[in-house]
Amino acid sequence: MAVLHNPAMLSATASSLASSLSSARAVPTRETYSELQQAYEHFNQRLFDDALPHCLITLQREKRTCGYFSAARFASLDGSTTDEIALNPAYFAAVPIIETLQTLVHEMTHLWQHHFGKPGRARYHNEEWADKLESLGLMPSSTGRPGGRRTGDMMADYAMAGGPFLAACEQLLTTRFQLSWYDRFPAIEHVVTGQWSMATQIQGMQGTQPPMSSVPALAEAVRPVGTSVAVPGSTTGETMVQPVNKSLRVKYRCGGCAAPVNVWGKPGLNLICGDCGKGFTAQD
């Protein structure tokens, strides 16, 4: 019996098989850390004249903290030390990639100050740090928006139009740079943070929208949950989560959980509880 072959079907099957094999061969740890290292080296070269020493980049879930810097945190077998820059992966899917890269440069500025400047006490972000960050095209702000304080214990920042940071970002994002792996269960508060990010207002650039809302396959995989996951640990040089203007927020309550579960966000959100699967309703 003759067997008829449909070239289009064979091509689609081969493509599907190749995709499955590619996924099976993925090495998430290698991909994730090589991408973060690529970003570090790119910004070191473009913003710091390649003056920063290498450090150990880690992924740490810290409550209400996008990232932190810790000087000489790790030691090798020969006794030499290296600094740590920690990034919180719980925000990766929920905030624009530009926001994640802002956190990296924010912490790189702490690293710069540790080696070449005079850091403030403990977690304090002083004038020297603020001036350096601003010179890189990131405006320090206690609120993450115009009008906030430039110095303090817990600080955020926002990208300045036409500044060196956005120029370096654009160079990086047009070289096919991406973050390949994302936490599937961001807290709803992280999702709200991403929706209110100043980065979403940037025009004409890639990476200005949260990956979970701009990448269909990721949107299918991500399931926001009612509360964030916190891991205890000491931090220095923390990047604060941008607080949302409370006067513009609406209180939402889960319609299914026995214990009250409330979140706050902008009007018109369609929220689903990750615990019970029921929707949230706006409260007066």
Q: CB count, 10 Å around CB of 159? A: 25
Q: What is the pLDDT of residue 113?
A: 98
pLDDT mean over 126-153: 97
| Tens digit of each residue's pLDDT (9 = 90 or more) over 152-204 | 999 999 999 999 999 999 999 988 899 999 999 999 999 999 988 999 999 98
DSSP state letter for 225: B
Name 230's Cβ contacts closer than 8 Å, sequence gap at least 6: 61, 62, 63
pLDDT mean over 222-241: 58
Q: What is the pLDDT of residue 175?
A: 83
Q: What is the pLDDT of residue 167?
A: 98
Q: What is the pLDDT of residue 239?
A: 61
Specify the higher pLDDT residue, 233 or 169: 169
Q: What percent of the chain has pLDDT over 70?
A: 81
pLDDT mean over 206-219: 94
Q: What is the pLDDT of residue 43?
A: 99
Q: What is the pLDDT of residue 205?
A: 93
Task: Look at residue 258 and tell me whether its pLDDT is greater than 50.
Answer: yes
Q: How confident is the model at residue 2 (pLDDT cuts 50, 70, 90)?
A: very low
| Tens digit of each residue's pLDDT (9 = 90 or more) over 193-202 | 998 899 999 9
Task: Look at residue 85 and tell me whether its pLDDT is greater than 60.
Answer: yes
User: What CA–CA distances, in Å, run from 225 to 17, 139, 245, 275?
Assistant: 33, 31, 22, 7
Angle 162-53-171 (CA atoms, 0-180°, nearest 5)?
30
Radius of gyration of the chain (CA): 21
| Tens digit of each residue's pLDDT (9 = 90 or more) over 31-77 | 999 999 999 999 999 999 999 999 999 999 988 899 999 999 999 99
Q: How confident is the model at residue 271 (pLDDT cuts 50, 70, 90)?
A: confident
DSSP state letter for 22: H
Q: Is 260 exposed, middle or buried (0-12, 13-18, 19+ CB in 10 A)?
A: exposed
Q: Is the pTM of this model over 0.95?
A: no
Is 28-244 CATH 3.30.1300.10?
no
Q: What is the pLDDT of residue 273?
A: 85
Q: How confident is the model at residue 269 (pLDDT cuts 50, 70, 90)?
A: confident
Mean of all residue pLDDT scores within the chain: 85
Q: Where are the domains of the chain?
A: 28-244, 247-284
Task: Look at residue 10 and tell me whether its pLDDT is greater than 60.
Answer: no
Q: CB count, 10 Å around CB of 1? A: 2
**What are the start-end ranges of the E strands in 167-279?**
239-240, 250-254, 262-265
Q: CB count, 10 Å around CB of 45? A: 14
**What are the start-end ranges of the E strands in 178-260?**
239-240, 250-254
